[in-house]
Amino acid sequence: MTSASGKGPRLLLGAPIAAEIRATVEREVSAFRGKRGYAPALAVLIVGRDAPSAVYLNQILKSCAKVGIEGRLVEVPGRASAAAVRAEIERLNADTQVAGIIVQMPLPKRIPLSTVIDTLDPAKDIDGLHPRNAGLMTLGYEGFLPTTAHAAVELLKRSGIQIAGMRAVVVGRSNVVGKPAALLLLRENATVTICHSRTADLARHLKDAEIVIVAAGSPGLVTGRMLRKGAVVVDVGINVVDDRLVGDVDFASASKVASAITPVPGGVGPVTNALLLTHLVRAAQDQAQASPGHRNGALQPVGSRQ
Ligand code: NAP
């Protein structure tokens, strides 16, 4: 459980896991192309451009290119109306080569999230925003998982961290990260506590946790003093402080206590990008197999897919 030097905690790096995932995706995309004669496309919809989004989107488009997926950047002007955004999503829903659609967040304030969620075809909702996918996840059926939450738990699994029977604390309860991460840990048979901004004594809960996933968007929120000795810590947070990317965990102090910890950047982020491609290929395969009018197919319990 220690780092290569034997001094610090084991670093849970995202890059090798992401490479492993991408290699599988590349084979699947190649098989899909061979069978169907075209590359599946991922549409990335962005409403107005800002610098941090541009960096993130370019990473996704580059990852697509590496594995043979067609990455399409679809830009809607920042001043566009909700109706224009809806129309663009409907156009992508109808495009049979587009297997998956992601919408860059945050949206401009004028455009409610429901504009996207209500319009997105659940079969193309590869980032698990739609209530259909959230419901499938909650009830234990195959659906599209919110990718970042999926990545946090997949990183633990692929790093060989035992989850079953462990006491886990998730800090954050957003629909995109905290809540689904907690549900996925529960699916892996952890005993899960969810903390949030109204939790009375965060440290008290953390002190008991063997696994900690932090997704609060608050730099340095979790410090070493709050953690149990030997805890495994996954830091989902991405914050810019003094032009540097930092997580929600104070890495220096947490490293003195944790047995394993993700760095920021370089932990959850690369796994998220790679898993998004996995979701895209699955969407393409499902859509290619589905008969017209039966897009969403029959419900499949988790683990029943071939
Ligand atoms: P969000 O929607 O703002 O949710 C933050 C959650 O943290 C909320 O549930 C909030 O509680 C809770 N929280 C905030 N301050 C807290 C505190 N002091 N103590 C305890 N809980 C607190 O954010 P998000 O979209 O879930 O994202 C969380 C973080 O993950 C952000 O830093 C974001 O940039 C990062 N992120 C990373 C990736 C990646 O690939 N690595 C992807 C997406 C997001 P309430 O519900 O009570 O308000």
5: pLDDT strictly greater than 80: no
Does ligand 1 lie within 6 Å of residue 173's CB atom? yes
Tell me the one-letter amino acid at 260.
A
Testing ligand 1's pocket by substitution, the residue of 197, 205, 246 carrying the most ligand atoms inside 8 A of its CB is 197
Testing ligand 1's pocket by substitution, the residue of 174, 222, 241, 248 carrying the most ligand atoms inside 8 A of its CB is 174
Does ligand 1 lie within 6 Å of residue 35's CB atom? no
Q: pLDDT digits over 251-298, tens only?
A: 999 999 999 999 999 999 999 999 999 999 999 999 999 855 444 557
Does ligand 1 lie within 6 Å of residue 148's CB atom? yes
DSSP class of 36: H
Testing ligand 1's pocket by substitution, the residue of 169, 196, 240, 262 carrying the most ligand atoms inside 8 A of its CB is 196
Q: pLDDT digits over 55-90, tens only?
A: 788 899 999 999 999 999 999 998 999 999 999 999
Q: Are 304 and 52 in contact (CB under 8 A)?
A: no
pLDDT bin (cut points 50, 70, 90) of residue 7 is confident
Indicate the domain borders of the chain: 36-124, 146-269
- pLDDT at residue number 254: 98
- pLDDT at residue number 97: 96
48: pLDDT strictly greater than 60: yes
Please name the CATH architecture into which domain 146-269 falls: 3-Layer(aba) Sandwich (3.40)
195: pLDDT strictly greater than 60: yes
CA distance linking residue 110 with residue 99, whole number of Å? 28
DSSP-derived 3-state class of residue 159: coil
Q: pLDDT digits over 229-251, tens only?
A: 999 999 999 999 999 999 999 99
- pLDDT at residue number 51: 61
Calculate the average pLDDT of the chain: 94
- pLDDT at residue number 294: 45
Q: How remote is the CA of residue 29 from the centroid of ligand 1, in Å? A: 33
2: pLDDT strictly greater than 90: no
Does ligand 1 lie within 6 Å of residue 198's CB atom? yes
* 264 Cβ contact list (under 8 Å, min separation 6): 235, 237, 238, 245, 246, 247, 249, 251
Q: How remote is the CA of residue 219 from the centroid of ligand 1, in Å? A: 10
Q: How remote is the CA of residue 215 from the centroid of ligand 1, in Å? A: 4
- pLDDT at residue number 297: 59
- pLDDT at residue number 43: 98
CA-wise closest residue to 144 among 159, 160, 122: 122
Q: pLDDT digits over 140-181, tens only?
A: 999 999 999 999 999 999 999 999 999 999 999 999 999 999
DSSP class of 228: P
Bridge-based pairing state of the strands 41-47 and 98-103: parallel
> Considering the chain, what percentage of its residues have pLDDT values greater than 90?
85
- pLDDT at residue number 1: 42
- Say which CATH superfamily domain 36-124 falls into: Leucine Dehydrogenase, chain A, domain 1 (3.40.50.10860)
Q: How remote is the CA of residue 174 from the centroid of ligand 1, in Å? A: 6
CA distance linking residue 48 with residue 242, whole number of Å? 25
User: Relative to the CA of 177, which ligand 1 atom is closest?
Assistant: 26
Does ligand 1 lie within 6 Å of residue 206's CB atom? no
Specify the range with the lowest mean pLDDT, choosing from 13-17, 55-59, 204-208, 291-295: 291-295
Bridge-based pairing state of the strands 244-246 and 191-195: unpaired
Specify the residue with its C-alpha closest to ligand 1, atom 48.
197
Testing ligand 1's pocket by substitution, the residue of 17, 57, 104, 238 carrying the most ligand atoms inside 8 A of its CB is 238
Domain 36-124 identical in fold to domain 146-269: yes
**Mean per-residue pLDDT, 198-206:** 98
